[in-house]
Amino acid sequence: MMSKTSKLLVYALLLAGAAVFILPFAWMVITALKPVDQALTQPGAWLPRKFEAQVGGHFKEVRTSGVITEPSLWIRQAGARNPVVVREATVWDGAWNPAAGASVPIEVIKRVPASSGQPWVEISSLDGSATDIIRASEMRTHVSFRWENFPRAIASMRHFWRYLANTLLLCVLNVCGTVLSSAMVAYGFSRLEWRGREGLFGLLLVTMMIPFPVVMVPLYSLFRSLGMVGTLQPLWIGSFFANAFNVFILRQFFRTIPKDLSEAARIDGCGEFRIFWQIILPLCTPALIVVGLFTFLGAWNDYLGPLIYLTDERDFTLALGLDAMKSSESGATEWPYLMAASTLVILPVVALFFFAQRKFVEGIALTGIKG
């Protein structure tokens, strides 16, 4: 029996490990709720904030630049990212003539007032068209989640609903094909007696050691010769040919079922397929759920397969849609929208796991028991 101190230590370690694993997911969700200008600020802030400044007697939402702690002349040249600090300048013909550099029109110059012991903050409108400098004490801020990032992310990912439909179709076809074919093969390896069964099963397990890159080129050549490249067929046809890992899981579970049930069914006149379909499969629901969940996750997250075989953008999956969304037309990645889209892609998988959690754990726990 474990002492209370040992239990507390184990729970503390488990909680720490869970926190480490959930941290990237939490950061993704928080980034999805930030405005674009706060996504990559240094130092980063966990919670998105809304900054408001009193402009024209009313508080308006603005963006902030650096804090200015001493008075000076700030000259913002057209197209320049950062202002140029000028301490000595003369006025002539409607322009500032700095001690060094070219003259700058007077309209683009902002004078920082005397600090009076308080920092000043440069603010700009949300579209960046107008700038001003105000006291930091006149700013107000509060936590504000940008829920509108999610519909904007859907709009940014062109053909989002088409990508979702393609992904769901592939998941359904892969789950149905994998569960059915793997269950039939596992039944033959576990419930039927035939010569060479164990040796062939060992050969099947050896195929698990072959990495996908080894067979990637031959498979591509095969599907190209069949005229399937550029369609969804190469991404689901293979699921109807049993996978070694899934066959192993189901075989271990089938062996836990007493053979007396099959013998009694045979005495009653049942054939092998009826025994398999009406007796064995209903008793193996947890193991079938495990295989189906693994297959669903693999098809949902698959990136390399669609990248190899798909050529038409209308056939893309969500994984390829996220990849295409990484860079906008300007070449800059809009991280809040990308994180919002990633959150939308992950949520169905998380929800599915929570709904099937008990059966999933039960299936994993029982597959290692020999009958």
| Whole-number pLDDT of residue 366 | 60
For residue 355, pLDDT beyond 60: yes
Three-state DSSP state, 367? coil
Could you give the C-alpha distances from 301 to 66, 117, 161, 169, 310, in angstroms and in order? 41, 55, 16, 13, 15
Distance spanning both ends of the chain, measured CA to CA? 29
Single-letter code of the amino acid located at 104: V
> Could you give the CA distance from residue 139 to residue 51 in angstroms, rounded to a whole number?
7
| Whole-number pLDDT of residue 121 | 78
Q: How confident is the model at residue 43 (pLDDT cuts 50, 70, 90)?
A: low
Q: Is the dihedral of CA 20, 24, 25, 26 positive or negative?
A: positive
Tens digits of per-residue pLDDT, 151-168? 999 998 888 999 999 999
**Residue 279: DSSP 8-state:** I
| Whole-number pLDDT of residue 1 | 59
Once rounded to an integer, what is the mean pLDDT over residues 23-41?
Answer: 88
Tens digits of per-residue pLDDT, 325-351? 875 555 667 889 999 999 999 998 888
| Whole-number pLDDT of residue 86 | 47
Tens digits of per-residue pLDDT, 190-226? 998 899 999 999 999 999 999 888 999 999 999 999 9
Once rounded to an integer, what is the mean pLDDT over residues 25-35?
Answer: 91
For residue 186, pLDDT beyond 80: yes
Of 78-87, 154-163, 255-264, give the lowest mean pLDDT range. 78-87
| pTM for the model | 0.79
For residue 239, pLDDT beyond 60: yes
Question: What rounded mean pLDDT belongs to the chain?
Answer: 82
Once rounded to an integer, what is the mean pLDDT over residues 82-100?
Answer: 50
Sequence length of the chain is 371
CA angle 120/123/129 to nearest 5° reads 150
Backbone angles phi, psi at 85, to 5 degrees: -80, 125
As beta bridge partners, residue 141 has: 51
As beta bridge partners, residue 130 has: none
Single-letter code of the amino acid located at 180: L
As beta bridge partners, residue 110 has: 74
For residue 109, pLDDT beyond 60: no
Could you give the C-alpha distances from 238 to 173, 243, 305, 326, in angstroms and in order? 10, 9, 12, 30
Three-state DSSP state, 222? helix
For residue 369, pLDDT beyond 90: no
